[in-house]
Amino acid sequence: MMKNIFCGETNVKEKYYLTTAIAYTSGKPHIGNTYEAILADSVARFKRYQGYDVFFQTGTDEHGQKIEEKAKSAGVTPKEFVDKVADEIKGIWDLVGVSYDKFIRTTDKDHEKQVQKIFNKLYEKGDIYKGSYEGWYCTPCESFWTESQLVDGKCPDCGREVQKSKEEAYFFKMSKYADRLLEYYNEHPEFILPVSRKNEMVNNFLKPGLQDLCVSRSTFKWGVPVDFDPKHVVYVWLDALTNYITGIGYDADGEGSDLYKKLWPADVHIIGKDIIRFHTIYWPIFLMALDVPLPKRVYGHGWLLQDGGKMSKSKGNVMYADDLVSYFGKDAVRYYVLTAMPQDNDGLISWESVIDVINSELANVFGNLVSRTIAMTNKYFGGKVSDSKVIEEVDNDLKQVVVSAVKKVTAKMDEFKIADAISEILTVFRRANKYIDETMPWVLAKDESKSDRLKTVLYNLCESIAIATSLLYPFIPDTCEKALNMFNLNVRAFDKLETFGLEDEISVTQNPEILFARIDAKVVMESVNKMIEERSAALKKQEAPVKEAVKKEQINIEDFGKVELKVGVVTACEKVEKSKKLLKLTVKIGDEVRTVVSGIALAYSPEYLVGKKLALVTNLKPAKLCGILSEGMILCAENSEGKLAFLTPETDIEDGSGIF
Ligand code: ME8
């Protein structure tokens, strides 16, 4: 439940039901998945602020072959696996301040029951029929494809390998509803946002003709069983999509709960660009078949991608919200991801760019304005200012920029242009900073006759901050609340935002806190790089195949006698250029001096080896390693984790001695 920190009552407007995609519980969500939850949260908070009666649903998508396989390789049951990941996802959503009203899990019993009822209903209606399936299945996407749909033999959505699949299955008659769907698109031009996505759906999928969709699987178990034919489980997308109605109390056999009656149809489904097809073709068609009204809008956002190379688990460089929050705090992370995403395109994230935005926008523009204004109000007026109405032209310009931001931000939010909305608010802070330079309060302060003018200037600054910070509240709520507290103000009622001069008097704190401290990029990046290296090493260790002592066939003493083993002493040693693993050793073996190249550089430094006696095979055929002829092999023990120890005589003995 949200704490009410708004000042005054805003009239309660109509309901607003919004949802995110439900995240797969196949692993910890990275910052890209988390972006969607933050995006939807900022919309939910903005709508609440406008006075809408908001219901915000998010959750987890927990069935399917991919999850069954992951659980198996983790050695746990699928339910144990999804319980852990769902907790982790919920924990991250909470950490970044996602103010959901409902967190649905597709393993919730009431959801599973409705999925079964929905399947039965569509079967009884004749929209689902039994047939047999032959085609290709992409497990990561949980999608079926026909031969002709594959691109270079791979999944057309994600480009990964697909598996041949032949099974008895249930099908949904998609084509039956194609015309009705096209008609709906035409009558509701606002249904798909951005509009470019609509054209993609029409041209790539609807016009070429919809194929019937396979809606059951029988080659794995982890799903909702079809209750009249339990060797089949319901196709994961049919199961997942229905969360939007089951989560609020839809009942396939009845009217549904009061909440459902109040909230459905949803006002917007917020999803990523990769799953627009499922939400604007399959989902509306399932709803048509169920005689349920369609959602008002589907907004497909772009993706947040890692700058400077692909995120890869094995490199340890995947960016997670909890790491980012631990370095920079929740609001800085929210601010970054929301501003990094242009509406129609993908956005980029890197540790460096987050630091840059915190320093250049949050600390230099917002934080600096707040701290300068509080400091001057304290210094010149003991912390209290009112409008003494000594107005100059520059004031009108400031007020106009502040007040006009309200409509601009609202318009951008109506189009889901979140980055643009925030940019309008930043323009206000920038304008106010410029106003300080223009009015030069420190000069006014030197002339007592300008005291009233100075008061007006500071009052205008406080009011500008009050309005713009209130507007920013839905995006970075904790910081805005903290900032407004320092002015002893609440978030201003939405319908009073355009009233510049609302407060008679504003009093500021005597002990201001820094909202965003400037970050020393060098210090933070050193620590981040260390974390990435450690993570990568830990992952490699985890993934390293355990070396088992291979059992070799028995040999006789003659076989063993073919190997010549001797003691040698290392007289010189250096690293082999261009190789991380190799060392070049000069070894004296009695009267002979040989060069030996050995793969022990990760375990021993050259200095350590000089003077050491060790055991060598001396009759191996010489071999070239990195262009250097090696004339022997050093004997080493190696444990299952790859740790090395060379063999050395137990007591001192001359080099050149034979080993038998
Ligand atoms: O697709 N940037 O789940 P999911 C921004 N279970 N958004 C991203 C992203 C990125 N780098 N990567 C993924 C599923 N997303 C299904 C949804 S809904 C009935 C079922 C978005 O965990 C992605 O586009 O793979 C999707 O909207 C959401 O994160 C969950 O992705």
Higher pLDDT, 346 or 133: 346
Whether the predicted pLDDT of 316 surpasses 70:
no
Nearest residue (CA) to ligand 1, atom 23 = 272
Predicted local distance difference test score (pLDDT) of residue 606 = 92
- How far apart are the CA of 576 and the centre of ligand 1, in A? 47
Q: Which tokens go with 616?
A: 């060598």
At residue 392, the 3 state secondary structure works out as coil
Whether the predicted pLDDT of 314 surpasses 60:
no
Percent helix, strand and coil across the chain, each to the nearest 5: 45, 20, 35
Average confidence (pLDDT) over 424-450: 98
Relative to the CA of 272, which ligand 1 atom is closest? 24
Give the residue, out of 115, 234, 275, 318, with the most ligand 1 atoms within 8 A of its beta carbon, to mutate for a pocket test: 275
pLDDT band at 6 (very low <50, low <70, confident <90, very high): low
The answer to whether 63 and 105 are in contact (CB under 8 A) is: no
Predicted local distance difference test score (pLDDT) of residue 13 = 78
Instruction: Give per-residue pLDDT as tens, 221-247.
Output: 999 999 999 999 999 999 999 999 999
Average confidence (pLDDT) over 631-657: 88
Instruction: Give 463-531 as a DSSP string.
Output: HHHHHHHHHHTTTSHHHHHHHHHTTT-PBPPGGGTT-TT--SEEE--SSPPPSS----HHHHHHHHHHH
pLDDT band at 4 (very low <50, low <70, confident <90, very high): very low
Relative to the CA of 302, which ligand 1 atom is closest? 5
Q: Is 520 exposed, middle or buried (0-12, 13-18, 19+ CB in 10 A)?
A: exposed
Predicted local distance difference test score (pLDDT) of residue 1 = 36
318: closest CA among 310, 326, 327?
Answer: 310
pLDDT mean across residues, the chain: 92
* C-alpha to C-alpha distance for 312 and 85, rounded to whole angstroms: 19
User: Does ligand 1 have an atom closer than 6 angstroms to the CB of 345?
Assistant: no
149: closest CA among 210, 197, 192?
Answer: 210
Strand 623-625 relative to strand 628-630, pairing: antiparallel
Average confidence (pLDDT) over 479-484: 98
User: Does ligand 1 have an atom closer than 6 angstroms to the CB of 436?
Assistant: no
Element holding 240 (H helix, E strand): helix 236-241
State CA 85 to chain mean position distance: 14
Predicted local distance difference test score (pLDDT) of residue 311 = 60
pLDDT band at 137 (very low <50, low <70, confident <90, very high): confident
Predicted local distance difference test score (pLDDT) of residue 544 = 60
pLDDT band at 12 (very low <50, low <70, confident <90, very high): low
Average confidence (pLDDT) over 515-538: 93
Instruction: Give per-residue pLDDT as tens, 203-228.
Output: 988 888 898 999 999 989 999 999 99
Q: Which amino acid is at 282?
A: Y
The answer to whether 59 and 103 are in contact (CB under 8 A) is: yes
User: Does ligand 1 have an atom closer than 6 angstroms to the CB of 274?
Assistant: yes
Instruction: Give the predicted TM-score (pTM) of the model.
Output: 0.81
Give the residue, out of 70, 274, 319, with the most ligand 1 atoms within 8 A of its beta carbon, to mutate for a pocket test: 274
- How far apart are the CA of 146 and the centre of ligand 1, in A? 24
pLDDT band at 535 (very low <50, low <70, confident <90, very high): confident
Relative to the CA of 243, which ligand 1 atom is closest? 19
pLDDT band at 250 (very low <50, low <70, confident <90, very high): very high
User: Does ligand 1 have an atom closer than 6 angstroms to the CB of 61?
Assistant: yes
Predicted local distance difference test score (pLDDT) of residue 261 = 98
Nearest residue (CA) to ligand 1, atom 5 = 303
Whether the predicted pLDDT of 3 surpasses 70:
no
User: Does ligand 1 have an atom closer than 6 angstroms to the CB of 36?
Assistant: yes
Average confidence (pLDDT) over 438-467: 98
The answer to whether 499 and 481 are in contact (CB under 8 A) is: no
User: Does ligand 1 have an atom closer than 6 angstroms to the CB of 459?
Assistant: no
Predicted local distance difference test score (pLDDT) of residue 152 = 87
Angle between helices 393-414 and 418-439 (to 10 degrees): 170
User: Does ligand 1 have an atom closer than 6 angstroms to the CB of 300?
Assistant: no
User: Does ligand 1 have an atom closer than 6 angstroms to the CB of 62?
Assistant: no
Average confidence (pLDDT) over 585-601: 93
Give the residue, out of 36, 58, 82, 269, with the most ligand 1 atoms within 8 A of its beta carbon, to mutate for a pocket test: 36
User: Does ligand 1 have an atom closer than 6 angstroms to the CB of 576?
Assistant: no
Instruction: Give per-residue pLDDT as tens, 536-582.
Output: 888 777 766 545 555 678 888 988 999 999 999 999 999 988 778 88
Percent of the chain whose pLDDT exceeds 90: 77
Predicted local distance difference test score (pLDDT) of residue 549 = 52
- How far apart are the CA of 276 and the centre of ligand 1, in A? 10
DSSP code, position 97: T
The answer to whether 647 and 614 are in contact (CB under 8 A) is: yes
128: closest CA among 177, 179, 174?
Answer: 174
Relative to the CA of 241, which ligand 1 atom is closest? 19
* C-alpha to C-alpha distance for 472 and 370, rounded to whole angstroms: 14
At residue 643, the 3 state secondary structure works out as coil
* C-alpha to C-alpha distance for 228 and 235, rounded to whole angstroms: 15
Whether the predicted pLDDT of 611 surpasses 90:
yes
Instruction: Give 284-321 as a DSSP string.
Output: HHHHHHHT-PPPS-EEEE--EEESSS---GGGT----H
Average confidence (pLDDT) over 641-654: 87
User: Does ligand 1 have an atom closer than 6 angstroms to the CB of 258?
Assistant: no
Percent of the chain whose pLDDT exceeds 70: 95
DSSP code, position 148: G
